[in-house]
Structure formats: C-alpha cells, structure tokens
Amino acid sequence: MKYISTLLIAFTIFFSATAQESRLNGTVSDSTNNEPVASASITVKGKTNGTISNDKGLFSLNISKLRTPFTIIVSSASHADKEILINSTSGSISVTLQQKTALNEVVVSASRVRENILQSPVSIEKMNYQAVKEAPSMSFYESLQSLKGMEMYSVGLGMKTVNTRGFNGTSNARFLQLIDGIDNQPPGLNFPLGNLFGVSDIDVESAELIPGAASALYGPSAFNGMLSIQTKDPFKYQGLSLHLKTGLNHIGEDFAKPHGVNDIAVRYAKSFNDKFAFKINIGYFNGLDWYANNYEDISAQTPVANRGPNNPGRDGLNIYGDEVARTLPGIGLVSRTGYEEKDLMNYNTYSFKTNGSLHYKISNNLRLIYQYNRAQALAGFTSSARMNVNGFLLQTHRLELRNNNSFIRVYSSGEICDNGYNTRTLGQFINRYWVKGMDGATVAPNVADNTWFNRYAAAYNGTVNGVQAK
C-alpha cells in the first residue's frame, strides 16, 4: 500500500507539472506553393523562447510563462520574417511565409540590432543561410567574393584574404573580421588569415559585409570595412549534421602527383527544456599547396642579356638565399648559394578547427553564453616571399550576457606561432650558419657573409692552397 501511495503521488506531481506547461502549436508553410517549411525558427518577440519546425512544418512552442497578447517571429533561411500577434493560445495556428528577396533581408551588423536591410544606416551586403548552403566553391568563404564591394586575394591553398575599398593585398590590415562578435585575427599577425582559423561551413548561419568604413561602430580596425560571420544558435538548429567536400589538384604537373583536397566537418547541437543548449563543431581541411617553381634570374644588378643559370650573380625568383650579392673587385657581381623553394617549404596544408558553446536562458529575455574556439593549422602564405605558417595555434574564449537589445561581452585571444618562418629569410640564415674561415672553424653568423665573399675572392684569385686561380 505504501508503494502504491508513493506511485500515485508521483503520477499526480507529474501530471500537475505537465498541466502547467502551456504550448502554442502550429504549422509553417510556403505562401507560393503551400509546401511545409522545415527548420523555420519560431521565437517570442522580446524574449528568448524559441523552437524550430520539423520536416512537416509542425512546431510546438513553450509559452508557460507568457500571457496573451504576445508576438511571435517566424523566420526561415529562404523566407522573409513574419510577426504574428497571438491573442489566444487555444487551438493551432497556421503561418505562411513569403519567399525571401533582397528587399526583406534582415541584418544586425549595421546597428548591432536586428533591422531590415533597407533601414540600415550604412551600405551592407549579406550572404544568408541558403546562399551558404548553395555556395559553389570549396567553402562559403571563397563565395564571399560574389558580394558587391568584396575583393579576394588567394595567398595559399584554403587561405584567402579579403578586403574592400580597393585596398586589397596579401595582408588585409585595417579590415575587421568577426565571428560571433569575436575578432578573428591572430594578435601577432594583426590581420585575419581568411577562414584558416574561422568556422566550418556547417555552422555558418549568415555573413554580413560592410564594404565601407565601419570605424564609427567598430573602431579603427574596421577602417577598410568589416565582415561579420554569425554561427547557428543551438536552440534553433539542433541535431547531428555532417559535411564533406573533396577534390583533386596538381593534375598533370611535373613537380607533384595528383593529391586530394578534403573538407570534412561534423556538428551536434541539443537543447534541454528550452533552458539549456550546447553545440560542438569539429572541422578538418587538408591538401597539397601549389609549388612555386619559377627559377628565372631576376637580378636587378645584372643586364638582362647576361642573366641566366650561368650568371655568378644570379637571383632566382623562387630560389632563396641568393638575394645576398656583392660586387667583388676584379671579379664582378657574385651572389650567395640559393635554395629552391621546394627544399624549404612544407606544402602539406591542414586546418583543424574545434569549437563548442554553452547557452543558458536565465529568463525569457536574458541569456548567458560561453564559447570556446580552437584552431591549429599548417599552411603556405604568399606575400613578398613565401611564408610557412607551421603548427600555428589560435584559441579564443567568449563570455557573454545577452539581452534582446543589449549585451555585455568579454573575450580573450591567445596564439602559439613560434614555428612559422619566411622562406627567403630562412635561406639567408642557413647560409650564415655553416661558413668556415681560413682556419677551418665555423664563423659567427654576423660575419658569415663577409667571410664567404672573402673566401670566394681568395679562391678566384688563387691565393688559397690547392685552388687554382680562375
């Protein structure tokens, strides 16, 4: 009898709690073809309550702590947002959405609050969720160059630099790139390396570009423009998702055999009782970068007719270390020994990105967020010379307290970048660490060049034992 009484009390408590939970049910469909709209977001205006529609367009929104009348906002990646005033929660509602056009796009970067793109105080371009999914390139980031005012420069496999206002180059200084409001540029470099340390396509909700000066809102780092990438909310986008793109490069080349280029990502998100949610992302990209194998003599101190492989002062374009040259009396221009780029570079490119976030709804209109991002990469970077970003590690932490119209955000960035190098400088340093004097002892690097040229002149003039004069 005791156990039966306990069981009855438990059932009573359970059904009482269930009875106290009030829900708003409904369907979402397309106004043009009446097809159900899956993954539509349904949120309460001014609150953080929300849910998404299933494959049949059905949804069920928890409204236990709300009183009528209230307004819900229904949005979809390919449809315009719609606001509906709810006066009664009895029965089911039917929502029809119009297909999205550029005129009803909603943006947040211009004023840091949601607004129609036509009401934005500055010119702004947007790549929405649908455009991200349909990007006809290796990654959504490469497709950003289709936005008006965007310029893109390829500095390596999987690495693009973007800029606006005609200031494009190999390093996009004074162009700000944000991911969920966090500055994505490594502190040591002071400019973002494209999406090498960014976010996988599978977690991107939208990307917004301000092609003009955005310093008024975002500071002097945004003098040339600003790119803001927003990731998916774990309350709205739940479940397990997989992403795979693959291809081949170096087809028909002499320096390398055909090699695979792969972009793999997995995402998982889950919410509990519409109060707590989390998401985890893991992404991996790998491939073989392009070989710079132009060994043309570009010595500025040598007449064009005298340039070539037999030129003592040769300066090969993709040969490093031979930039150090000197005119020796009675001999002419002589350069140090150079090293072909393929002997100095590591062309095996990879990027391993992980991130996770925890979201807790303190109340209907207040949310606490913690996010951690970690990215490690090895890649070639083309600037005045080829750089090797070797094992570069970037980590960021974000803690944010967000209301509907305001937020308090604290974040930190840290990097480990001590294994990167400039191939031209590396070639010159190698030359300075093996030179020996006339006594056979290795000399200090700061006198290595002088010692080498002196020994060259001595050997050329026949003043070294066992060496015949030229």
pLDDT tens profile 159-170: 888 878 776 667
CATH 2.170.130.10 domain span(s) along the chain = 106-290+346-423
Rounded to an integer, what distance in angstroms lies between the CA atom of residue 410 and that of residue 368? Answer: 12
Rounded to an integer, what distance in angstroms lies between the CA atom of residue 293 and that of residue 316? Answer: 10
CA dihedral 215, 219, 224, 230 (to 10 degrees): -100
23-100: what fold?
Answer: Immunoglobulin-like (2.60.40)
Mean pLDDT of the chain: 85
Residues 82-129 have pLDDT tens digits of 999 988 888 889 999 988 765 556 777 766 667 666 666 677 888 888
User: Quick one: pLDDT at residue 14?
Assistant: 41
Max CA separation in the chain (angstroms):
115
Residue that wins the pLDDT comparison between 466 and 237: 237
Question: Which run of H or of E encompasses 84?
Answer: strand 79-86
CATH 2.60.40.1120 domain span(s) along the chain = 23-100
* pLDDT at residue 10 greater than cutoff 50: no
Rounded to an integer, what distance in angstroms lies between the CA atom of residue 227 and that of residue 288? Answer: 28
For residues 126 and 66, the answer to whether their CB atoms sit within 8 Å is no
User: Quick one: pLDDT at residue 20?
Assistant: 53
| pLDDT confidence band for 18 (50 / 70 / 90) | very low
Rounded to an integer, what distance in angstroms lies between the CA atom of residue 183 and that of residue 189? Answer: 13
pTM exceeds 0.85, yes or no: no
Q: Is residue 271 helix, strand or coil? A: strand
* CATH dotted code for 106-290+346-423: 2.170.130.10
Residue that wins the pLDDT comparison between 327 and 272: 327
Least confident of 40-54, 317-331, 351-365: 40-54
